Amino acid sequence: MNDLTSSQKMANLSLSCAMKGGFVLILLVAATFVSAKKSGDVTELQIGVKHKPASCPIQAHRGDRIKVHYRGKLIDGTVFDSSFERGDPIEFELGTGQVIKGWDQGLLGMCVGEKRKLKIPAKMGYGEQGSPPTIPGGATLIFDTELVAVNGNGSGAEEEDIEKNEL
């Protein structure tokens, strides 16, 4: 007896369609994830600590005036700006919107002398409009950063470099 009522057939058909629709949705989400991973784009801020000093007496907090060396790159490796090459770190007040949101969040808690790699999604960088001509709209940004000083207090390494260069 394999006779199904019309309501049972409709229920089976609905379940079958729902399962196929769910499967298609899962495939779309997976494809989007793989595509984003493949291209190097990120959807959330990623913070990688590359070097942390043995001791951390000075950390960066919201409202602190900090000095940071940085190298900014696009996901294809193109460098669009670098304070390292200029020998002049940027100075700003952390967490107050003077820089892109990815920096305001990604540098919090950093120790003087610490090095971090920040992968910043477009929504926390320059958004869909970008910053022409060097940063295209919707660009994920990658920054290699080094905290040089907090409220005028540094590790002393920068002062040593300046003294060596002056001799």
Point out the residues that are catalytic.
70, 80-81, 100, 126, 143
Instruction: Tell me the backbone φ, ψ of residue 84, rounded to 5 degrees.
Output: -60, -45
Q: What are the b/e assignments for 106-130, b being 16+ CB within 10 Å? A: bbeebbbbbbbbbbbbbebbbeeee
Residue 153, amino acid:
N
Contact 110, 52 (CB under 8 A): no
In Å, what is the CA distance from 8 to each residue of 3, 14, 15? 10, 10, 10
Six-digit token string for 46: 């990623």
The CA radius of gyration of the chain, in Å to the nearest whole number, is 24
- CA dihedral over 113, 102, 129, 74, signed as positive or negative: positive
How far, in Å, CA of 9 to CA of 96, rounded?
61
